[in-house]
Amino acid sequence: MNDDISGDLKLGHLFQAAGLAPDDVAVIRHTLNPGGLKTRADALGPNLLRYTREQGHNNKLGKTPPRIWLNFLATTGRRARFITAFENHGEVPEERTDIWRFFDLRPSPVFSALADRLVIEWTPDTVNWAKSGRTASPMAVVEIADPNSEPFPGFDSLLISYDELQAVVADDRYSQWRTALSSMQGIYLIADAKTGKLYVGKADGAERFLGRWSDYARNGHGGNVALRELAGADASHARHFQFSILRVFSPSAPTAQADAAEAHFKKALLSRQTGHNRN
């Protein structure tokens, strides 16, 4: 591809670094669906090879597909994360049916150091799930994650201390966490391990979880009256806090829905009567 002094990193630059000729490469964007790869676990396991080797006669990979198949999994919008590469050793003629062709695909080490780290932005025509290496070369590389990154555990399983919160909002290893926490709004819980008291809070609007929790990481109280009083008496009291999430809402959820959930949890957990909530 043409030299670019702007510093914009394209997929084609990675082809060059790996010694790949674009004409030897196919780039595939998989999506999760009930008729194929149903879950992320499917996409990361042996089902991916079984699923990918089966192609229709008029598939988008062409009559004679290239040698290296780079497999990506669609995430949000047009973004796709690299999973693994397969080497194509050709069609297996004896397996052919009236509808399907089957290819002898084998795991390849190509881009193996970038597995689950490399994220690209697909072209606007996402319905075209396979691209030649030459067509895919201009695709923007939007992320190459830290190889020591911490996987996001899911909203239901999240439970972190105040010290861990400091790392979540600032450390490169937690980039997946920040992406997730900045994408959703909802209701969270702060438990005071020293006193046993609870605080129910709401992260909504543009703040979402990441914005709201960044306030706590910065000053230990997030502007809450009772927590500010604790910080005034002991500036290090926040080290006793642990954070979790009670309910998640999409960014488009009505404000009234989040307000009702916040009121429900305050009532259910008695956080007004025995905790740190003042309203």
Please report the pLDDT score of residue 135 as a whole number. Answer: 96
Provide the CB-side half-sphere exposure for 151 (13 A, CA): 5
pTM of the model: 0.60
d(CA 12, CA 20): 9
Q: Which two tokens stand for residue 151?
A: 């996987």
Report which of 28, 100, 36 is spatially closest to residue 68, judged by C-alpha positions.
28
Q: What stretch of H or E contains 54?
A: strand 54-56
Q: Which two tokens stand for residue 153?
A: 């555990």
Please report the pLDDT score of residue 54 as a whole number. Answer: 94
Three-class SS string for 221-275? CCCCHHHHHHHHHCCCHHHHEEEEEEEEECCCCCHHHHHHHHHHHHHHCCCCCCC
Total H helices, total E strands in the chain: 9, 12
Residue with tokens 């966490």: 177
pLDDT mean for each 10 residues of the chain (279 residues): 71 97 97 86 89 91 94 92 96 95 96 94 94 97 86 94 94 88 95 97 89 94 93 91 96 93 98 95
Provide the strand spans (E) within 109-260: 118-121, 130-132, 140-144, 159-161, 185-192, 198-203, 241-249
d(CA 28, CA 82): 9
Report which of 214, 203, 219 is spatially closest to residue 155, judged by C-alpha positions.
203
Q: Which two tokens stand for residue 7?
A: 């510093």
d(CA 36, CA 39): 9
Please report the pLDDT score of residue 68 as a whole number. Answer: 98
Classify the phi-psi angles of 65: left when phi > 0, otherwise alpha if psi is within -120 to 50, otherwise beta.
beta
d(CA 120, CA 24): 19
Report which of 176, 153, 174 is spatially closest to residue 75, judged by C-alpha positions.
176
The CATH homologous superfamily for domain 155-268 is: GIY-YIG endonuclease (3.40.1440.10)
Please report the pLDDT score of residue 188 as a whole number. Answer: 98
What does the DSSP 8-state code read for residue 149? P
Give me the residue spans of the domains in the chain: 11-144, 155-268
